[in-house]
Amino acid sequence: MRWTFKPKPQNNSVENLAEELSIDEKLAAILIQRNITNYEEAKRFFRPSLEDLHDPYLMKDMDIAVQRIEKAIESNENILIYGDYDVDGTTAVSLVYSYLKTFYPNIASYIPDRYAEGYGVSYMGIDFAHDNDFSLIIALDCGIKAIDKVAYAKEKNIDFIICDHHKPGAEIPKAAAILNPKRIDCEYPYKELCGCGVGFKLIQALAVNKGQTIDNLIPYLDLVATATAADIVPITGENRILAYHGLQVINSEPRNGIKAIIHQLDKPSLTITDVVFIIAPRINAAGRIKHGNHAVALLTEMDFDAAIEVASSIEKYNSDRKELDKKITEAALYQIEDNHETDQFTTVVYNENWHKGVIGIVASRLIETYYRPTLVFTKSGDKLAASARSVKGFDVYNALEQCSEFIEQFGGHKYAAGLTLLPENYDNFKFKFEEVVKNTIDKELLIPEIVVDATLELTDITPKFFRILKQMEPFGPQNMRPVFQSHDVRDNGFGKQVGADKTHLKLTIFQGSDRVSYGAIGFGLGNKIHKVHNEFDVLYSLDENTWKGNTSIQLVLKDLK
């Protein structure tokens, strides 16, 4: 691990903010590192308010989109809500579908089949709309690259409203309206919404025209928070407001589908991390193993008992997904070793029988072992399809662009992308991708980095310090859970390896002659047990641990040396 320390704020800004907010200077420094420099900014950060959401009509084409939907309603047109099969897409479809359904009956939803149709807008979906007399498609979390498909729909007298957040190409589709804050000509103040977030701005604009207030839309925020967490977008600005209030809905009055998932768990309240690791994988499992329609059915179900039934079938898909993911990861690791590719700059693996629904997860797993840009390929019809994942700081989307001569189609983000290519181009692509990454990646990026916010003495960790830290939630990209360093700590002598296969490390640590000690858990750090017999330095974040009814502050170890 590379330990990288955030630069200390300059001059007396830390003292001033600490005084203004009556907080510890170390906390003030962490806030300044996150661009919170005065009382007003701190208030907006610690008390996110729905009143601070931007006017949805600031988004390019919003007025046109609303007019087109209102025209469709007046003319009694059939409207198809179309979205991708992942969490962002299925939550976005569920959001817009369930909102419109409250006042207009001629609505249906459509999720493309991951295997028959692939990612994004499909010709099959447009044919379905045409055959069933839909004259307006609202596409969510996809569509910004669907130039030919939107033109095809136009020939069939079907209009498109595209709500997307992916990076547009040089040309955009000739749709009735395109809502995407990343459009060059869009002056919307916040650029980092997920697809479901853009869908929320659409219903917010429709609500304004209906004389509704933001309070009418609070019940939809459980979906927005789930998508925001799952799609790994920055938890800043509007995303922070939506995630904060959405988490409150999840923990108080979630829709039946989310309630049914939570019902199977034994957790009194969920954090954003729980949403990422508990709710999102289950919603995703439907599209990975069976069909994304099951996720929409769950998230729009009005009857709780029926939702429980759908949730239990999705639980089965999730178990199947875990099993597949484990088997394919093992096979991929064997392939890397067998091909003597352990010392390359990239990982590119392929097997025609690997399940297309889990190759993205497998790519992430491989990065845990070989920390480098990774692609996992499988057969998809007469082509090969891959999921790409990257390491922090390296833009895999740009790297793929430089290999486009061998690619049929690709799309995605800096850190995650999908692509298809012809089987005969696989070897050439693999060679070119390795060459591009080798020539462009900063070699430091091939060592996992931990960014450290501050150095603490263990005595700095007071109940007040921890209470304020907790108020910085929800954590996520650009507002990560703070990581601290403490020097020269010791274990009390009873440190041990724990877990079924002894992979975790459990310690009780103290510093110097001070009597303050803290329990510490290091997941996956069991092999470092030999390093704790003398003094050592630790990196950790702070969390709560409840054991036999007692709750205490616990150090969650990230690394030690």
For 123-170, where are the E strands, in sequence order? 134-140, 159-163
pLDDT digits (tens, 9 = 90+) for 300-329: 999 999 999 999 999 888 888 889 999 999
Confidence of residue 172 (pLDDT cuts 50, 70, 90): very high
Domains identified in the chain and CATH numbers? 2-9+450-560 (2.40.50.460), 56-313 (3.90.1640.30), 339-446 (3.10.310.30)
Over residues 509-536, the mean pLDDT reads: 89
| Residue 11 in this model has a pLDDT that exceeds 80 | no
**pLDDT beyond 90 at 123:** yes
pLDDT at residue 213 tops 80? yes
Q: Looking at residue 257, what is its pLDDT?
A: 94
Q: What's the predicted TM-score (pTM) here?
A: 0.90
Tell me which residue of 216, 249, 191 sits closest to 54, measured CA to CA. Answer: 191
Residue for token pair 């889990």? 358
Per-residue pLDDT tens for 177-195? 999 999 999 999 999 999 9
Looking at the DSSP bridge assignments, the partners of residue 383 are 380
Q: Letter for the amino acid at 346?
A: T
- Rounded to the nearest integer, the mean pLDDT of the chain is 93
Mind listing the pLDDT tens digit for each residue in 227-285? 999 988 999 999 999 999 999 999 999 999 999 999 878 777 899 999 998 999 999 88
Mean pLDDT confidence for 341-369: 92
Q: 461-508, pLDDT tens digit by residue?
A: 999 999 999 999 999 999 999 999 999 999 988 889 898 889 999 999
Tens digits of residue pLDDT in 97-112: 999 999 999 999 999 9
Question: For residue 50, which phi and psi values (nearest 5 degrees)?
Answer: -60, -20
In 3D space, the residue among 519, 530, 516 whose CA is nearest the CA of residue 557 turns out to be 519
389-414 tens-digit pLDDT: 999 999 999 999 999 999 998 887 78
Give the pLDDT band (50/70/90) at residue 40: very high
Mean pLDDT confidence for 423-443: 96
Mean pLDDT of 508-520: 87
Q: Point out the least confidently predicted range of 113-122, 328-337, 459-468.
A: 113-122
261-265, long-range: CB within 8 Å, 24+ apart, which pairs? 261/298, 261/311, 261/314, 263/308, 263/311, 264/311, 264/312, 264/315
Given a cut of 90, whether residue 433 has pLDDT beyond it is yes
In angstroms, the Cα distances linking 171 to 62, 168, 198 are: 19, 7, 20
Question: What pLDDT does 61 receive?
Answer: 98
pLDDT at 153: 97
- What does the pLDDT read at residue 104? 97
Q: pLDDT per residue over 54-72, tens digit each?
A: 999 999 999 999 999 999 9
Q: What are phi and psi of 427, to 5 degrees?
A: -65, -40
First to last CA, the chain: 10
pLDDT given for residue 549 in this prediction: 78
